[in-house]
Amino acid sequence: MTEERIRAVERDGLAFDVIDAGPVDGEPVVLLHGWPERATSWRHVTPILNAAGYRTLAMDRRGFAPRARPRRRRDYRLSLLVDDVVALIDEAGGSAHVVGHDWGAAVAWAVAGLHPDKVRTLTAVSVGHPAAFFKAMVKSDQLRKSWYMAALALPVLPELTIRRWSDWFDLQLLKGGMSREDVARFRREIVDDGALPTSFGCYRGMLLTDPRIVRFRVSAPTTMVWSTGDVALGRWGAAHSAEWVDGPFRLVVLDGVSHWVPTEVPDVLAGAILERVAG
């Protein structure tokens, strides 16, 4: 494991900024954010993990990091998002505990499934195993909840809407449970910083990802955290993720908590992460 702080990871001409905190010799915990957030979404979780002796590595993902914002849809295929994380894990010593929220969870599942030797444990927040998520589209009301994914994959229209009808979009985030502080952070870190167009890359690259790639099994001990107040993701996909995990699996259900788990209940989430990584 490297004895120096990791400030950024470079891969294929792109640079991904990293917030490296906690004891340098602690077991590494890689933290992957979702949309529309950046690595700072873990700011309340990391001090708790650091105090427990773990080193946290929160990375600005592809499309969000200032020096990693390619414009083409094909640059956001799932395999590339996975390789970005593997590059960070290799920099941190070759294996790590991996935690992801929202799109970060989708990528974390894929890292664990496609590179089992890199992942010591997995904690997925909000988004279940990709195969379970897609099956939930026909087995539950997930298709109705996921209408926004198709909307955000459209060219140009999403960024125009968010800029021209900013008050309306901010209100949607507030209705979904995001705090006013984090809505302001979204405006500052995503919109004002120029990341908005490329932040949609994960949605626009979905159609270019071979669906067979998501039918992987996960051997790492896994915790799935899902919250009952999540307006975008139903319980079916979270609960049935166990069918794709060969290692120990635990479903943690947070009653009355919104989609924005890392910032709304960081202490509870940190507790679930620590229980998994320590186990």
Residue 1 lies in a domain: no
pLDDT by residue (tens digit) across 238-248? 999 999 999 99
Residue range(s) defining the domain that contains residue 259? 8-278
In a domain, 248, yes or no: yes
Residue 2 lies in a domain: no
Per residue in 23-54, pLDDT (tens digit) is 999 999 999 999 999 999 999 999 999 999 99
- Whether 166 maps to a domain, the answer reads yes
Q: At what angle do helices 78-91 and 103-114 cross, to 10 degrees?
A: 70
In a domain, 177, yes or no: yes
- Angle in degrees, 0-180, between the axes of helices 103-114 and 130-139, rounded to the nearest 10: 120
Residue 49 is part of a domain; what is its CATH number? 3.40.50.1820
> Does the structure show a pLDDT above 90 at 171?
yes
Number of structural domains the chain divides into: 1
On whether residue 108 sits in a domain, the answer given is: yes
In a domain, 193, yes or no: yes
Asked, for residue 3, whether it belongs to a domain, the answer is no
